[in-house]
Structure 1
Amino acid sequence: MPVLIKDLQDTKGILTTQGSPIYKDHIPKSDALIVDRLKKAGAIVIGKSNTPEFGAGSQTFNSVFGATCNPYDVTKTCGGSSGGAGVALATGMVSIATGSDLGGSLRNPAAWSNVVGIRPTPGRVPSVGVDLGWSNLSTDGPMGRTVGDVAMQLSVIAGHDARSPLSIQESAAMFAGSLERDFKGSHVAWSKDLGGRPIDSENSRVTESQRHVFENLGCIVEDAEPDLVTTDEIFQSLRAYSFAIKHEAHLREHRDKMKETVIWNTEQGLNMPSIDLARAERLRTRLWEQLMVFFEKYEFLAMPVTSVPPFSIEDEYVSEINGVQLETYLDWMWPCYAISVTGLPAMSVPAGFTEDGLPVGLQLVGRPRDEIGLLQLGNAFEQETNFWKQRPPVVIEFSGVRSHNGFEISR
């Protein structure tokens, strides 16, 4: 089966740039573990998928390959950072693709390309040879056109590896079975905005219109949400720390080749007092304890994937929602990063379209390590709605190359 590999993941003998001019000629000598497992299962790597520089930000553009357009409207972004993967799936280039997710990079682009992406429990899809093997903020994972495609890929890329300290000791074979399940009586918490966070009204209208699907499946759906107010501070601190570790040398030696948001995030980490990191870890511990109480009653949480529909490809990030000014390039990504810091598995499934025909995703969050339950619920929702079948219009233009912030965009 053909597969596309995200350009953050090493591929032996194939250019791997991380979307950065620093690595524009970099050809790895070995495969990342996720790539190695796919190859051994018979997958054929046909290329790499575009990503923002070092995967920073949910808008896929860089100075190496340019920007990747949304397949439903080429004037809009496809999201990120696994944006190229989402577009390749939506346009039928492949049925499966790899991605990774720190603050939403498997879920956001899936939502905006009308495909499926799951952020598995950290350790479910292990990584080796990484800088932060003990950190569970980022994880590799699968994307596909359907929930079944994603489950099939998980059956290959998941599984224990002793070289990864967080690796989960459970067989990946569980993901190869049937996803059919009766959801009668299952408790689903439904949150429109996690307690009043800024969210676009059209985005909300689309997701809210899908509540009845879960009720029709027999679920007991209640308005409820865990208290995730501390997730902003937790995410900002832990992300800054990870950027400092990964990019301190890049900043020192290649500052002129780095985009401003990566520089800002790296310097934020380098200048962060150690007490801020300690406080973030303490807050995260308290958050976990609260979540375990919440998920004693509810098996799933349903909420938005994004705070806005796909925005202009000319904008690097969202700076305002409903008149609320946002402070950083990360703030608009709150629906995804708030879940990232919990360590819970989460998935984006196609949930409909705006009045302008732009895809919107619904985020499903499961109990600890319950990817199976998440896949089963996503599969049931998918069978009831079939939004994934609404493919983007195929537009062929042999000319018409335009510019985005000085980068070329092939349409």
Structure 2
Amino acid sequence: MPARPAFSGPELCALTACDAVDLLKAREVQPSDLVEASLARISQTSPAINAMVTQCAARAQSATKAATPNQDLAGLPIGIKDLSPVSGVRTTFGTKALAEFVPETSEPLVTRLETRGAIVIGKTNTPEMGAGANTFNAVFGKTRNPWDTRLNAGGSSGGAAAGLATGEVWLSQGSDLGGSLRTPASFCGIVGLRPSPGIAGGGPALQGFDFLPVNGPMARTVEDCALMLDAMAGYDPIWPISYPAPVNSYLRTCRTESGPIRIAYAPDLGGLAPVTPRMSQVLNTALARIASKDLDVIEAAPQTETVEQCFRTLRAFGFWTNARNTPERITQHYKPTLQQNISEGRALLMDDVAEAMTQRSAIYQSMLLFLKDYDVLACPVTGIEPLPVEIEYPTDVNGEPCKDYLDWLRFAMLATVCGLPALSLPVGFTDTGVPVGLQLIGRPRGEGRLLQVARVMEKALNLGSAPIDPVIRH
């Protein structure tokens, strides 16, 4: 394991979110102290990584007056992805036509988080309309990987992941459809959880019944991820698929003794996607390290033959649905890959959608049966490590050509299609010092057990979770 890069930011920024909230609840630090520390760190790191692209310092300082120790987050500053409106704060969706848009009202999830003690410090960068696994757009430019600034940070929650890795914030909101928080979590060495649909709120009203995209927590540790999920969770009728919070908090369950654990490891997810030897080596080494008498790792894979086509059809259908409800003054500026997605959705036949819905039910039933024997399914997050920031997507993975920018993201598709919780856990580094995450897919509504298993693995690997200074390379 390579030496962890130094950290020269404010001491408060090096705390875990759980420790920072404990200090806030004990009144040993004030929310204003954390806001000042966060703003200072953003100022230090922004020139190198371009993660927190819009700051709202005055709004954040004003919000400290309303924070109280009895709230879940008690005045902790967080990042919000630039796809989620925040009242009075520039929200661009990474697209030119909305470059100066300032919403009057916040997305309901933002309101929920603020009600529970979160203080929005700013907006994190995203590719245009969240489409793509490399975070760049025509409004703010590129977000760079803090472990090597020549590389990309993943996407579409790349700004969130890069900011967390460098200590700009303690927690950050991400969203995920095709790995949009899992890929950047893996590339930047942090934890990202895609929860089951309905667990962590929802998006705009017109997408209320869409089960593919979800919001989720991103953090530097598994416990911190559980803390944020608790702050996001709970039933609200404004979201038609909203799901009640559990009786025991996710954080409490995460910290509970796990008992014996059985992990199914699928190195290429049943032939779904290729993996480079370098990535396989890191994952195999990590799983060998954690194996013990209480933690069995068994190589096994579910059936995945129809996953990719099902995912592509449902995703294209969703992109077309959203585009047809978006004014042309906005859509006319979309990048070519986004326009391609929309065109594919427009060209779908009703039979295509019906077949995808039928496949989805069959895939879910197959996974339900498979997971009866295992606590989680482990597999790669991606088959490759991050590429140079100038490259939008790879042309091949381990010699297998990529037909488009979705092709290399096939490992993300299974959990999305089935509505299963999936977490990216840092498990090692390549020989060039770039982090690698392992994807853990849990049982239906199994967030608590998934977090519990991930915490056991995190402790066994003991890689460290302290933030880093950006490693600036040219």
Fold conserved between structures, TM > 0.5: yes
Partner of 1:341: 417
1:139 to 214, 236, 249: 214
**Matching of residues 68-217 of structure 1 within 5 Å:** 68-127=143-202, 129-171=204-246, 174-177=249-252, 179-196=254-271, 197-216=273-292
Counterpart CA distance in 1 for 2:407 and 2:239 is: 31
Is the Cα contact below 8 Å between 1:114 and 1:387 reproduced in 2?
A: no
Task: Report if the CA contact (8 A) 1:159-1:167 is conserved.
Answer: yes
Counterpart of 1:109, as a letter, is P
Structure 1 position 394, deviation (Å): 3.7
In 2 relative to 1, CA 385–234 (structure 1 residues): closer, same or farther, beyond 3 Å?
A: same
User: Does 1:289 pair with 2:365?
Assistant: yes
Specify every segment of 5 or more residues in structure 1 that has no aligned partner in the other structure, as ranges: 401-411
Alpha-carbon distance in structure 1 between the residues aligned to 2:203 and 2:330: 26
Aligned with 1:262 (options 325, 329, 338) = 338
* Matching residue of 2:35: none
Q: Which amino acid aligns with 2:239?
A: S
Does residue 362 of the first structure (1) align with residue 362 of the second (2)? no
- Tell me how far apart the structure 2 counterparts of residues 312 and 36 of structure 1 sit (CA, whole Å): 37
What SS class does the counterpart of residue 350 from structure 1 fall into?
A: strand
Which residue of 1 is the match for residue 120 of structure 2?
45
Quote the Cα distance in structure 2 between the aligned partners of 1:163 and 1:101: 20
Residue deviations 1:356-375 (CA, integer Å, cap 9, x gap): 11110011111100100011
Partner of 1:409: none
Q: Which structure 2 residues correspond to residues 21-32 of structure 1 after superposition, within 5 A?
A: 21-32=96-107
Q: 1:327 aligned to 2:403?
A: yes
Distance 2:174 2:293 in 1: 30
- Structure 1 CA distance for aligned equivalents of residues 471 and 411 of structure 2: 32
Residue 140 of structure 2 corresponds to which residue in structure 1? 65
User: Alignment RMSD, CA only?
Assistant: 1.8
Count of residues paired in the alignment: 398
Is 2:382 aligned against 1:306?
A: yes
State whether residues 148 and 472 of structure 2, in contact with CA within 8 Å, keep that contact through their aligned partners in structure 1. Answer: no
User: Deviation string for 1:22-48 (max 9, x for gaps)?
Assistant: 111111111112211111122111100
CA distance in 1, matches of 2:470, 2:396: 32
Q: Which residue of 1 aligns with 2:28?
A: none
SS in 1 for 2:255: coil
Partner of 1:233: 309
Counterparts of 1:54 and 1:172 in 2: how far apart (Å)? Answer: 35
Question: Which residue is 1:405 aligned to?
Answer: none
Please identify, of 84-93 and 199-208, the stretch whose mean Cα deviation from structure 2 is larger: 199-208
Show the counterpart of 1:407: none
Change over 3 Å in CA distance of 1:172–1:62 after alignment to 2:
farther
Q: Distance in 1 between matches of 2:318 and 2:464?
A: 35
Cα deviation, 1:113-170, whole Å, max 9, x if unaligned, reads 1000000000101225432211211101110011111111111111111121111133
Residue 299 (structure 2) aligned to one of 203, 223, 227? 223
Distance 1:396 1:355, change over 3 A: closer
* 8 Å contact from structure 2 (residues 87, 105) kept in 1: yes
- Compute the displacement of 1:181 (Å): 4.3
CA distance in 1: counterparts of 2:413 and 2:405, whole angstroms: 13
3-state DSSP of counterpart to 1:70: coil
Structure 2 SS opposite 1:94: coil
Q: Bigger shift: 265-274 or 124-133?
A: 124-133
Q: Structure 1 residues 213, 160: closer, same or farther in 2, change over 3 A?
A: farther
Which residues in structure 2 correspond to 1:238-249 (within 5 Å)?
A: 238-248=314-324
The amino acid across from 2:168 in the alignment is: M
SS in 2 for 1:79: coil
Alpha-carbon contact 2:149-2:472 (below 8 Å) kept: no
The residue type paired with residue 91 of structure 1 is T
**In structure 1, how many angstroms separate the alpha carbons of the residues matched to 2:403 and 2:253?**
45
Given that 1:158 and 1:172 are in contact with CA atoms closer than 8 Å, whether structure 2 keeps it comes out as no
Q: In structure 1, what is the Cα distance between the partners aligned to 2:190 and 2:196? A: 20
Call closer, same or farther: CA 1:219–1:395 in 2, change over 3 Å. closer
Give the % identical residues.
Answer: 38
Which moves more between the two structures, 384-393 or 214-223?
384-393
**Cα deviation per residue 1:186-230 (whole Å; 9 max; x = unaligned)?**
221011111233111111111111112442261222110111121
Are residues 89 and 244 of structure 1, via their aligned partners in 2, closer, same or farther at CA, if it must alter by over 3 Å? same
- SS of 1:4's equivalent? strand
Q: 1:11, 1:212 → 2: CA distance?
A: 44
Higher mean alpha-carbon deviation, 222-231 vs 166-175, is at: 166-175
More strand by share: 1
Structure 2: gaps spanning 5 or more residues? 1-75
1:279 positional shift: 0.5
* C-alpha distance in structure 2 between counterparts of 1:377 and 1:187, whole Å: 9
Does the 8 Å CA contact 1:183/1:218 hold for their aligned counterparts? no
Q: Deviation per CA, 1:241-262, whole angstroms, max 9, x where unpaired?
A: 1110112355844454110001
**Following the alignment from structure 1 to structure 2, what is the Cα–Cα distance between the partners of residues 152 and 170?**
13
